[in-house]
């Protein structure tokens, strides 16, 4: 045990002695050289720090996975989920162009809102993930319950009956298909 402690002490002495020698050699330099030395150190530090930053950025770019699907959602749609599902069943699994054509012919209250949702998902796919608009199809589309507003209706003889105004959330996922 005593031997290991001695080794550590000798290593520390060795590392501290060259530092003091360098400091003494700097004192012997001229005043103009002393002014340039800190500037050179600062420039060297900046170069090493920018190199380190560039290396970390390059690593982050290599790790990014390719995105194969684009999503969009609409929350709090003032149509009941049951009525929205009737419209969604018409377009599920179709190409985006076909789905938009079909929805333009449907006379339901939810149809214009679903058209906007599909257009939003297409914009996400083309702008954010560089997908080809012609190859997109509706992979998944679904409607779920959102909040419910409870109201009442006045009835005969001073009574009242309940009424529920339902809202829905609609989610869509688009993917690229290689064969069409």
CB 89 within 8 A of CB 143: no
CA angle 79, 82, 85 (to 5 degrees): 95
CB 171 within 8 A of CB 139: no
Mean pLDDT of 48-68: 61
| Mean of per-residue pLDDT scores for the chain | 79
Helix (H, G, I), strand (E, B) or coil at 60: helix
Closest CA to 119 of 74, 178, 165: 74
Mean pLDDT of 131-150: 94
CB 103 within 8 A of CB 90: yes
* CA 118 remoteness from chain centre: 20
CB 136 within 8 A of CB 125: yes
Lowest average pLDDT, out of 11-15, 31-35, 40-44, 117-121, goes to 11-15
Could you give the strand order of the β-sheet that contains 160-176, starting from the edge strand earlier in sequence? 69-77, 160-176, 136-154
User: What's the rounded Cα separation, in Å, for the pair 149 and 162?
Assistant: 11
Residue 20: pLDDT over 70: no
Domains in the chain, ordered, with CATH? 69-176 (3.90.470.10)
Helix (H, G, I), strand (E, B) or coil at 132: coil
* CA 2 remoteness from chain centre: 58
User: What's the rounded Cα separation, in Å, for the pair 120 and 20?
Assistant: 67
The pLDDT of residue 122 is 96
What are the CA-CA distances from residue 172 to residues 6, 79, 89 (Å)? 71, 17, 12
Q: Sign of dihedral through CA atoms 38, 40, 42, 48?
A: negative
The pLDDT of residue 67 is 79
Residue 23: pLDDT over 70: no
């Amino acid at each position: 045990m005593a031997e290991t402690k001695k080794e550590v002490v000798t290593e520390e002495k060795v590392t501290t002695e060259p530092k003091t020698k360098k400091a003494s050699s700097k004192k012997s330099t001229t005043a103009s050289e002393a002014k340039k030395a800190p500037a050179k150190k600062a420039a060297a530090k900046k170069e090493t720090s920018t190199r380190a930053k560039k290396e970390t950025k390059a690593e982050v770019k290599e790790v990014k996975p390719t995105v194969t699907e684009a999503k969009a959602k609409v929350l709090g749609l003032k149509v009941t989920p049951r009525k929205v599902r009737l419209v969604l069943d018409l377009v599920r699994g179709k190409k985006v162009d076909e789905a938009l054509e079909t929805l333009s012919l449907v006379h339901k209250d939810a149809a214009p809102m679903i058209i906007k949702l599909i257009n939003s998902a297409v914009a996400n796919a083309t702008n954010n993930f560089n997908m080809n608009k012609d190859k997109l199809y509706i992979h998944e589309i679904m409607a779920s319950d959102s909040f419910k507003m409870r109201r009442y209706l006045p009835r005969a003889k001073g009574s009242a009956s309940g009424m529920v105004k339902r809202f829905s959330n609609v989610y869509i996922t688009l993917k690229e298909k290689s064969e069409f």
